[in-house]
Amino acid sequence: MAMRQTPLTCSGHTRPVVDLAFSGITPYGYFLISACKDGKPMLRQGDTGDWIGTFLGHKGAVWGATLNKDATKAATAAADFTAKVWDAVSGDELMTLAHKHIVKTVDFTQDSNYLLTGGQDKLLRIYDLNKPEAEPKEISGHTSGIKKALWCSEDKQILSADDKTVRLWDHATMTEVKSLNFNMSVSSMEYIPEGEILVITYGRSIAFHSAVSLDPIKSFEAPATINSASLHPEKEFLVAGGEDFKLYKYDYNSGEELESYKGHFGPIHCVRFSPDGELYASGSEDGTLRLWQTVVGKTYGLWKCVLPDSGELAKPKIGFPETTEEELEEIASENSDCIFPSAPDVKA
């Protein structure tokens, strides 16, 4: 008998959730940030969805949000013509970067020293975060508003998407290397550093391209219009969500649909795998984030597997095998006053 997928529902937002991003794995676990049209991006514990804090300061819808690799900094892109950089530990605003139009996307370099932004004014901007007073470098060439912009190839190149075009840029020369044109609007883009894979969604299509050359690798067709897709870190599965409120899970190698779940009450705008691949998160028009298990029934985070013979709960795994439970408790007590106060709002 197949086990039933039971997503964790993370409430708190009051408008559609339009973007989300995970940090890398840190000594304190990994973290999840969400962007919402309510203008209040939220930070959560990645494996449980527990609310950590809300970044307050934007005066319009927040369209994009990201965390740096070690989850010490956050960046957000908003309709108030600004991008903001935040201290993700204290929640303090570190800087406001003024733009001339709505900002849609933000991305840190691996060393967190530079921030890439893009938006409705069709320009890519690169800010030196160690010199916030300096003017940003600008790259022009897009013919419509930029939806997504990402560093790639160890920050030597940039990938960006506008309405129907994906472009690859050289960081050193600030020039376009190559472009891809589509016959319909590009809805999302994800970059996978391991293997240099680019995941693009448009219409019902989920396409995989080389991030180095933009050459096609493969593509799948979904039953409905897809707004976002994410590839598992081990490249075994991909998940996608869109206009029919469903999440689809596919075998990456064969393209076979493995599972589909309907858990949201509105179109799905964004979906991403966690850095350890144990779960994926989805954000929807219904104002919620949901966390889904990659392997249903496994004991992980707030999910507990009941052993059929004894009726006892399976012992939860410790996420970081080199750290003992006592050390984790000591770390938590030492840093208990360094993060925003928590509030329980996660339910199965």
Query: At 309, is the pLDDT very low, low, confident or very high (cuts 50, 70, 90)?
Result: low
HSE at residue 240, side-chain half, CA atoms within 13 A, is 35
Query: How buried is residue 143: exposed, middle or buried, by Cβ count under 10 Å (0-12/13-18/19+)?
Result: exposed
User: pLDDT value at position 316?
Assistant: 37
Residue pLDDT, tens place only, 269-296: 999 999 999 999 999 999 999 999 999 8
According to the 3-state scheme, what is the secondary structure of 265-289?
A: CCCEEEEEECCCCCEEEEEECCCCE
User: pLDDT value at position 2?
Assistant: 62
Name which of 249, 229, 150, 227 is nearest 196 in CA terms: 150
pLDDT reading at 1 higher than 90: no
Query: At 307, is the pLDDT very low, low, confident or very high (cuts 50, 70, 90)?
Result: low
78 in Cβ contact with 93 (< 8 Å): no
Q: Which residues pair with 197 in a beta bridge?
A: 192, 210
Query: At 113, is the pLDDT very low, low, confident or very high (cuts 50, 70, 90)?
Result: very high
User: pLDDT value at position 3?
Assistant: 77
Token pair for 185: 């609007």
End-to-end CA distance of the chain: 21
User: pLDDT value at position 157?
Assistant: 97
Residue pLDDT, tens place only, 182-237: 999 999 999 999 999 999 999 999 999 999 999 999 999 999 999 999 999 999 99
Cα distance between residue 148 and residue 77, in whole Å? 11
User: pLDDT value at position 308?
Assistant: 59
Cα distance between residue 110 and residue 5, in whole Å? 34
pLDDT reading at 311 higher than 70: no
Residue pLDDT, tens place only, 223-277: 999 999 999 999 999 999 999 999 999 999 999 999 999 989 999 999 999 999 9
Token pair for 330: 């000591």
pTM, two decimals, is 0.86
Q: Which residue has the higher pLDDT, 4 or 117?
A: 117
Token pair for 98: 């003024």
Cα distance between residue 202 and residue 165, in whole Å? 11
Cα distance between residue 142 and residue 169, in whole Å? 11
Q: Which residues pair with 249 in a beta bridge?
A: 239, 259
